[in-house]
């Protein structure tokens, strides 16, 4: 299965989006537990619906509006379920890339 490299492909390639953003997270379970290391999971502000007039905070309830946001939220939940004390979630907006034109990074969590 080809994994999407752009979030706009997630709607048309749902299985690939879930494989990349949520399901593949199981691959790090054993190494992270055995190595007693911290895991930093990069997520997105797309886990929210964008209706807030204030910046999102850690305790705000996610409400993804698309496959990309929902699959990223599932990835976050998998990380927190497996490594609640050894993980951190960073939600970003507009990640830089040499291959895709995107803008500034903003941390939500």
Burial of 60 (0-12, 13-18, 19+ CB in 10 A): middle
**From 46, 56, 68, 96, active-site residue:** 68
* Residue 96 among the catalytic residues: no
Residue bearing tokens 């941390």 = 107
Question: In the predicted model, is pLDDT for residue 81 greater than 80?
Answer: yes
Q: What is the mean pLDDT of the chain?
A: 76
User: Domains of the chain (ranges plus CATH)?
Assistant: 7-92 (3.40.50.720)
Portion of the chain with pLDDT greater than 90, in percent:
17
Q: Which residue has the higher pLDDT, 76 or 27?
A: 76
Contact present, 46 and 97 (Cβ < 8 Å):
no
Question: In the predicted model, is pLDDT for residue 45 greater than 70?
Answer: yes
Query: Under 8 Å CB-to-CB from 35, ≥6 apart: which residues?
Result: none
Question: In the predicted model, is pLDDT for residue 69 greater than 70?
Answer: yes
At 15, the pLDDT band (50, 70, 90 cuts) reads confident
Query: Under 8 Å CB-to-CB from 55, ≥6 apart: which residues?
Result: 108
């Amino acid at each position: 299965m080809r994994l999407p490299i752009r979030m706009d492909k997630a709607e048309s390639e749902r299985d690939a989006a879930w494989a990349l953003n949520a399901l593949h997270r199981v691959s790090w379970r054993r190494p992270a537990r055995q190595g007693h290391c911290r895991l930093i999971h990069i997520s997105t502000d797309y886990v929210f619906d964008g209706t807030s007039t204030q910046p999102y905070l850690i305790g705000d309830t996610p409400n993804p509006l698309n496959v990309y946001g929902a699959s990223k939220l599932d990835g976050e939940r998998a990380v927190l379920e497996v490594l609640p004390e050894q993980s951190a979630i960073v939600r970003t907006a507009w990640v830089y890339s040499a291959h895709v034109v995107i803008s500034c990074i903003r941390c939500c969590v």
